[in-house]
């Protein structure tokens, strides 16, 4: 066929042979691509004139007119098709659909009846007719039509969905449940069915089942889509309806809010979880990692004050109150809260230590710091250390003193550790895995805690980079795909030299940047001696935990204490990553891994 793209003044071909009449449809499509809509319509009409039985021409013309909002013209096209093809039900069904789109329910109803008399084995026809009957509030007829559609095509998930809505309107709750369950069985990606299921469960006061449905939409639906946002709102509304919501349910709601960067709502949900069960630890810990805005800070302080007044012996509550007061720059009061938290935490674990002299304030620096790296197993290591009878850790894991909190002073920092650890037979320490990214932290440690031992866990940088991206996704710190993030970061890193890479710090996209162990450790070891570090491979830590812990205890100078079970803590969950992305990262990190091995004189075999 002739190439029409270059001719802006195209004239329609004349006297085209009969066997080439369908070329007018192709021509119309080409003109439509060029946005020459008037000529496209003219071409489609010429096709119909040449061949009144050419269904595709009617269809293309009607779709173009629909896009222009010319609804009456659409009806005229299909009516012409019916006149020319009275036994071809495609035209009658199309006219019925067009009438339905214009909400001309009565006329659409008549046309569907006409079409289905001629073609009684069309399942979609019965389903579309049923939708019109619902608008006409002819519920029984709509139900019958939908069932007929399913008799003709049993896997028609849309029919089950429609049938569920009919049953739901008629308050036939169990029948509606059965229909919606069939939808999700046939089409598990259709999130609206889960929303409908949840509505029915809420009506039946089966609140946990409703929440499970909303959870599914939240975690499997399209990110930030209207249905996902609706599911979050409905989750919260369901908890308000629930006569006996649990602290776990509110905690999970808070986690959902935090992942969506709805931080004030997350804080409120975590607080409700704490009110229901003040001993439930997870919401306290989650609040520690959730930004608190200035507008909400006063309320948070008030919340914790009331909480510790009624429940005096909750270490996490005292610690979180100290954090909130620190944010208000009430340092002296915050220090007292931290000391109370430390005392309660230790004496709850070891009541006999309450009888010893707890001097104030703490004088000695922590014995060790787990300084890196993020997403390499530091949470698990911190947890395992907490079971050793000679190790009494900081009241919470991440203090970030040498980073964001350095201006609060050394007294503020030391208040986070049990003062009893100034005794010779007890050790204390903390874990802030982001420290490794900042070379200035090494200088601060040298100036304030020159003898503190440093433990570093290093994980295959490919796995760490991927895990770090999804950690930020799950905590509301970033959005977007891993593929896009990696591609953008590789381009951004092209122009950075070694000096810039050794400066470390935070970057907007930092999955690769924060995995440059060679530059991080090289910068740190310019200020601190190699023997002050214990550097471990995360993969060894995961595969042979007892052996690794033995090495750590030996480094710290305490006896080995083996646990019955080494359960992982703070494990990240995410979908399987494209192998191409993994391969890109693997090749990218190869030279840096070699540099690291040569620098440390260790083999990682990544």
pLDDT digit string, tens, across residues 293-306 = 999 999 999 999 99
Residue 396 lies in a domain: yes
Residue 504 lies in a domain: yes
Per-residue pLDDT tens digits for 430-472? 999 999 999 999 999 999 999 999 999 999 999 999 999 998 8
Residue 5 has pLDDT above 50, yes or no: no
DSSP codes joined into one string, 434-500: GGGG-HHHHHHHHHH-TT-EEEEEE--HHHHHHHHHHHHHHTTS--S-HHHHHHHHHHHHTT--HHH
Confidence band, pLDDT 50/70/90 cuts, at residue 146: very high
> What is the reported pLDDT for 475?
85
Per-residue pLDDT tens digits for 316-339? 999 999 999 999 999 999 999 999
Residue 136 has pLDDT above 80, yes or no: yes
> Please, where are the H alpha helices in 503-602?
517-524, 538-543, 545-556, 579-600
Residue 587 lies in a domain: yes
Confidence band, pLDDT 50/70/90 cuts, at residue 6: very low
> What is the reported pLDDT for 22?
59
> What is the reported pLDDT for 400?
96
Residue 577 has pLDDT above 90, yes or no: no
Cβ atoms within 10 Å of 577's Cβ, excluding its own: 17
Confidence band, pLDDT 50/70/90 cuts, at residue 142: very high
Q: State percent of the chain over pLDDT 90.
A: 87
Are 286 and 270 spatial neighbours (Cβ–Cβ below 8 Å)?
A: yes
Are 24 and 47 spatial neighbours (Cβ–Cβ below 8 Å)?
A: yes
Taking the CA atoms of the chain, what radius of gyration do you get in angstroms? 34
Residue 228 lies in a domain: no
> What is the reported pLDDT for 573?
66
Residue 132 has pLDDT above 50, yes or no: yes
Which CATH number belongs to the domain containing residue 587 in this structure? 3.40.50.300
Residue 415 lies in a domain: yes
Residue 250 lies in a domain: no
Q: Considering only 7-11, 227-231, 305-309, which range has the smallest mean pLDDT?
A: 7-11
> What is the reported pLDDT for 3?
38
> What is the reported pLDDT for 346?
96
Indicate if the alpha-carbon torsion angle 216, 221, 224, 230 is positive or negative: negative
Are 337 and 325 spatial neighbours (Cβ–Cβ below 8 Å)?
A: yes
Confidence band, pLDDT 50/70/90 cuts, at residue 388: very high
Please give the average per-residue pLDDT across 493-501, as a whole number. Answer: 89
Residue 15 has pLDDT above 60, yes or no: no
Residue 4 has pLDDT above 50, yes or no: no
Residue 8 has pLDDT above 50, yes or no: no
Buried (b) or exposed (e) across 269-301, using 16+ Cβ within 10 A? Answer: bbbbbbebebebebbbbbbeebebeeebeeebb
Number of domains in the chain: 1
Residue 9 has pLDDT above 50, yes or no: no
Confidence band, pLDDT 50/70/90 cuts, at residue 508: confident
> What is the reported pLDDT for 491?
93
Q: Mean pLDDT, the chain, as a whole number?
A: 93
Per-residue pLDDT tens digits for 59-77? 999 999 999 999 999 999 9
Helix (H, G, I), strand (E, B) or coil at 200: helix
Domain of 443, in residue numbers: 364-600
Give how far the C-alpha of residue 347 lies from the chain's centroid of Cα atoms, to the nearest Å: 38
The set of residues, in sequence order, having a beta carbon less than 8 Å from that of 193 and lying 6+ positions away, is 161, 164, 180, 183, 184, 187
Residue 586 lies in a domain: yes
> What is the reported pLDDT for 358?
87
Residue 16 has pLDDT above 80, yes or no: no
Residue 439 lies in a domain: yes
Q: State percent of the chain over pLDDT 70.
A: 96
pTM confidence score: 0.84
Q: What are phi and psi of 584, to 5 degrees?
A: -60, -45
**Rounded Cα distance, 378 and 433, in Å:** 7
CA atoms in the 13 A half-sphere facing the CB of 32: 19
Helix (H, G, I), strand (E, B) or coil at 533: strand
Residue 14 has pLDDT above 80, yes or no: no
């Amino acid at each position: 066929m002739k190439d029409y793209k270059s001719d802006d003044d195209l004239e329609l071909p004349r006297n085209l042979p009969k066997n080439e009449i369908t070329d007018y449809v192709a021509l119309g499509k080409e003109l439509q691509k060029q946005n020459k809509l008037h000529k496209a319509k003219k071409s489609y009409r010429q096709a119909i004139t040449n061949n009144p039985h050419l269904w595709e021409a009617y269809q293309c013309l009607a779709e173009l007119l629909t896009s222009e909002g010319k609804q009456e013209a659409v009806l005229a096209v299909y009516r012409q098709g019916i006149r020319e093809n009275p036994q071809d039900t495609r035209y009658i069904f199309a006219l019925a659909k067009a009438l339905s789109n214009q909400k001309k329910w009565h006329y659409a109803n008549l046309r569907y009846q006409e079409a289905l008399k001629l073609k009684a084995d069309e399942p979609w026809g019965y389903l579309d007719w049923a939708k019109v009957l619902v608008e006409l509030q002819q519920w029984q007829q709509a139900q019958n039509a939908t069932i007929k559609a399913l008799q003709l095509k049993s896997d028609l998930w849309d029919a089950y969905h429609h049938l569920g809505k009919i049953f739901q309107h008629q308050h036939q709750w169990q029948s509606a449940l059965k229909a919606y369950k069939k939808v999700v069985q046939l089409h598990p990606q259709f999130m609206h069915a889960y929303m409908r299921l949840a509505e029915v469960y809420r009506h039946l006061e089966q609140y946990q089942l409703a929440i499970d449905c909303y959870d599914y939409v939240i975690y499997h639906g399209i990110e930030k889509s209207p249905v996902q946002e609706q599911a979050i709102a409905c989750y919260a509304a369901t908890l308000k309806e629930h006569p006996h919501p649990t602290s776990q349910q509110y905690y999970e709601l808070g986690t959902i809010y935090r992942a969506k960067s709805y931080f004030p709502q997350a804080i409120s949900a975590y607080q409700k979880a704490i009110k229901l069960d003040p001993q439930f630890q997870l919401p306290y810990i989650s609040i520690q990692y959730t930004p608190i805005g200035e507008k909400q800070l006063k309320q948070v302080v008030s919340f914790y004050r009331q909480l510790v007044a009624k429940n005096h012996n909750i270490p996490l509550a005292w610690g979180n109150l100290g954090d909130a007061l620190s944010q208000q720059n009430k340092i002296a009061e915050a220090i007292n809260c931290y000391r109370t938290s430390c005392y309660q935490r230790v004496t709850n674990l070891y009541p006999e230590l309450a009888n010893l002299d707890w001097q104030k304030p703490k004088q000695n620096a922590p014995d060790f710091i787990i300084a890196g790296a993020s997403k390499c197993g530091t949470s698990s290591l911190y947890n395992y250390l907490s079971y050793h009878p000679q190790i009494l850790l900081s009241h919470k894991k991440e203090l970030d003193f040498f980073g964001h909190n350095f201006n609060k002073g050394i007294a503020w920092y030391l208040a986070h550790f049990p003062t009893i650890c100034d005794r010779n037979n007890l050790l204390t320490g903390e874990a802030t895995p982001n420290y490794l990214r900042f070379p200035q932290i090494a200088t601060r440690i040298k100036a304030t805690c020159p003898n503190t031992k440093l433990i570093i866990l290093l994980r295959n940088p490919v796995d760490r980079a991927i895990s770090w991206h999804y950690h930020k996704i799950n905590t509301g710190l970033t959005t977007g795909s891993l593929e896009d993030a990696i591609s953008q970061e590789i381009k951004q890193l092209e122009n950075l030299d070694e000096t810039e890479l050794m400066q470390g710090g935070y970057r907007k996209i930092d999955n690769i940047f924060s995995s440059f162990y060679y530059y991080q450790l090289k910068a740190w070891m310019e200020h601190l001696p190699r023997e002050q570090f214990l550097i471990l491979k995360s993969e060894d830590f995961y595969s042979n935990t007892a052996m690794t812990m033995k090495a750590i205890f030996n480094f710290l100078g305490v006896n080995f204490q083996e646990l019955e079970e080494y359960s992982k803590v703070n494990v990240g969950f995410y979908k399987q990553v494209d192998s191409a992305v993994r391969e890109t990262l693997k090749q990218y990190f190869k030279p840096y891994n070699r540099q690291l091995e040569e620098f440390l004189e260790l083999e990682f075999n990544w």
